[in-house]
């Protein structure tokens, strides 16, 4: 078989060639492939298709903006109305008071920008030894150089010749505030620039925070003058039943990284919400203010910004953040019911995203492949877990049907295993 020209993301290419699922259209919560198969999007693509696919008004917004101003950069003195409008809107809903907004092209961009900003801030205020970035085991922060360096998933870090592509990174246990305290003691607070965490670990297996964890982390950050960065690339814009997980979990970050749900995937957009402590020296010191040398070619892209504004309008107009909260309860009930299955080790829910952690009797890769045959898309995650995070327009019945499809696959796998053991 001839190899395809496209080198797919995060793919073992010999394993996917000949098995690739070619999506040709989408509407609502469903995709259609080139074979005519209709598949329920149980992961909202990569966690982001929150308002659903194929909305005509989103296409119309892009068309109208392209007729007016299709693109221009926001470097230096230049800006555009849509980028300004989006920044003002984001500030109005941000869980950081008096925030400033940096726009870029996606989540990995946002992580690089956030961690560079943390080090740039400390360097400017004269505390040049504060360089180390601390992250959590099991975490995922994109695949740019900085995101790769702080990743808590070893398979995303390996093979580059060094333990960390960017020097000065440390990892601590997923729920272990004591390990964070011990790391501060070992390294010294004057060497640590920032601590970064996903409020809910996503790709690492959907792990919500344990009670008291972030309260202790934030106390340690305050007492040791360490910046706290919330990676809300997955959780931002309604996925946890509030606009930001920082609000739900009472976090007070210095920087929030966002992407995905800001446009529901209708365009590539990410960015940062930056607290006054961090932005003030770059705005308010006149000739002595430094320049933060950030920026991507499509920062503040007017079409992308227009789509984000319309997406946020739809979320509010249709009450989809509240609907996400309702769907969380449906998902929690369905996952609780499947916990009794012999092949299920545990289930987890945090907002309208969940995971079914499987026993060693069956692999998540096998289950997700089999569920596709029943018309549902799920995704294998770290820890032999199955991801569930559909769009916010999903019905209660579709949640039940999705979890039911997973149960059916597990039942069939259990029956085969029992039969094999009986005949052994």
Q: What is the pLDDT of residues 136-176, one digit of tens each?
A: 999 999 999 999 999 999 999 999 999 999 999 999 999 99
188 and 235: one domain? yes
Q: Which band of pLDDT confidence, cut at 50, 70 and 90, is reported for residue 198?
A: very high
264 and 202: one domain? yes
The angle subtended at Cα 332 by Cα 362 and Cα 344, nearest 5°, is 15
pLDDT at 417 over 90: no
347 and 281: one domain? no
Per-chain mean pLDDT for the chain: 96
Phi, psi of 9 (to 5 degrees): -75, 140
Find the helix or strand (DSSP H, E) in which 264 lies. none
19 found inside a domain:
no
Percent of the chain exceeding pLDDT 70 equals 100
100 and 204: one domain? yes
What is the number of residues in the chain?
424
Domain boundary among 317, 351, 384: 317
| Sheet strands side by side (includes 227-231) | 100-104, 270-274, 255-258, 227-231, 192-197, 132-136, 169-172
287 found inside a domain:
yes
Q: Which CATH number goes with the domain that contains 341?
A: 3.90.1150.10
Q: Which band of pLDDT confidence, cut at 50, 70 and 90, is reported for residue 420?
A: confident
137 and 241: one domain? yes
Percent of the chain exceeding pLDDT 90 equals 95
Residues 73, 299: contact at Cβ < 8 Å? yes
The pLDDT value given to residue 418: 83
Q: CA 110, CA 105: separation in Å to the nearest integer?
A: 8
Residue with tokens 């094999």: 420
286 and 190: one domain? yes
Please give the structure tokens belonging to residue 115.
């961690």
Domain boundary among 264, 299, 317: 317
52-67: per-residue pLDDT in tens?
999 999 999 999 999 9
34 found inside a domain:
no
Residues 374, 409: contact at Cβ < 8 Å? yes
30 found inside a domain:
no
Contacts 24+ apart (CB under 8 A), 13-21: 21/372
* Residue 46: how many other CB atoms lie within 10 Å: 18
Domain boundary among 282, 297, 317: 317
Average pLDDT over residues 73-99: 98
**Crossing angle (nearest 10°) for helices 320-338 and 396-423:** 20
Strands 227-231 and 255-258: parallel
The pLDDT value given to residue 421: 78
290 and 325: one domain? no
**Spatial CA neighbour of 351 closest among 392, 315, 312:** 392
pLDDT at 424 over 80: no
**Spatial CA neighbour of 353 closest among 238, 196, 260, 271:** 238
117 and 184: one domain? yes
254 and 108: one domain? yes
pLDDT at 2 over 90: no
pLDDT at 333 over 70: yes
309 and 343: one domain? no
Find the helix or strand (DSSP H, E) in which 350 lies. none
The pLDDT value given to residue 401: 98
The pLDDT value given to residue 1: 59
353-395: per-residue pLDDT in tens?
999 999 999 999 999 999 999 999 999 999 999 999 999 999 9
pLDDT at 318 over 90: yes
107 found inside a domain:
yes
The pLDDT value given to residue 81: 98
107-137: per-residue pLDDT in tens?
999 999 999 999 999 999 999 999 999 999 9
> What is the number of structural domains in the chain?
2
Helix, strand, coil percentages, rounded to 5, for the chain = 40, 15, 40
Average pLDDT over residues 209-218: 97
20 found inside a domain:
no
48 found inside a domain:
no
Residues 234, 202: contact at Cβ < 8 Å? yes
| Listed range (247-256, 287-296, 328-337) with the worst mean pLDDT | 287-296
Q: Which CATH number goes with the domain that contains 283?
A: 3.40.640.10
303-312: per-residue pLDDT in tens?
999 999 999 9
157 found inside a domain:
yes
Q: CA 380, CA 386: separation in Å to the nearest integer?
A: 5
392 and 257: one domain? no
Domain that includes residue 91, residue range: 57-317
191 and 289: one domain? yes
């Amino acid at each position: 078989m001839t190899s395809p020209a496209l080198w797919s993301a995060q793919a073992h290419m010999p394993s996917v060639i000949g098995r690739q699922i070619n999506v040709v259209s989408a509407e609502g919560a469903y995709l259609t492939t080139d074979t005519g198969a209709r598949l329920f999007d149980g992961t909202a693509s990569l966690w982001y298709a929150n308002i659903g696919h194929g909305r005509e008004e989103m296409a119309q917004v892009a068309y109208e903006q392209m007729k007016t101003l299709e693109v221009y950069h926001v470097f230096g003195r230049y800006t555009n109305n849509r980028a300004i409008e989006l920044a003002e809107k984001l500030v109005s809903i941000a869980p950081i008071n008096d925030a400033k907004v940096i726009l870029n092209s996606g989540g990995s961009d946002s992580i690089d920008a956030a961690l560079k900003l943390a080090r740039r801030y400390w360097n400017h205020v004269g505390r040049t030894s504060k360089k180390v970035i601390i992250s959590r085991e099991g975490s995922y922060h994109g695949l740019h150089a900085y995101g790769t360096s702080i990743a808590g998933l070893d398979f995303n870090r390996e093979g580059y010749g060094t333990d960390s592509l960017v020097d000065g990174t440390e990892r601590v246990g997923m729920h272990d505030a004591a390990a964070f305290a011990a790391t501060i003691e070992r390294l010294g607070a004057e060497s640590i620039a920032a601590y970064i965490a996903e409020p809910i670990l996503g790709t690492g297996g959907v792990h919500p925070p344990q009670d008291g964890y972030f309260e202790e982390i934030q106390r340690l950050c305050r007492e040791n003058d360490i910046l706290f960065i919330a990676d809300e690339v997955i959780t931002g814009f309604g996925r946890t039943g509030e606009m930001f997980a920082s609000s739900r979990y009472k976090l007070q970050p210095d920087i929030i990284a966002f992407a995905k749900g800001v446009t529901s995937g209708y365009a590539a957009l990410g960015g940062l919400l930056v607290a006054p402590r961090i932005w003030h020296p770059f705005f308010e010191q006149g000739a002595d203010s430094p320049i933060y040398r950030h920026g991507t070619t499509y920062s503040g892209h007017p079409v992308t910004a227009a789509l984000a504004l319309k997406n946020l309008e739809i979320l509010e107009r249709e009450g989809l953040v509240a609907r996400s909260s309702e769907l969380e309860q449906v998902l929690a009930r369905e996952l609780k019911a499947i916990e009794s299955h012999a092949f299920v080790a545990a289930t987890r829910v945090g907002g309208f995203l969940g995971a079914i952690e499987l026993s060693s009797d069956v692999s998540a890769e096998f289950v997700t492949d089999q569920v596709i045959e029943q018309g549902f898309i799920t995704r294998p995650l770290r820890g032999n877990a199955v991801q569930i995070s559909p769009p916010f327009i999903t019905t209660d019945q579709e949640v039940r049907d999705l979890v039911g499809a997973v149960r059916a696959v597990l039942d069939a796998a259990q029956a085969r295993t029992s039969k094999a053991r009986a005949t052994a």
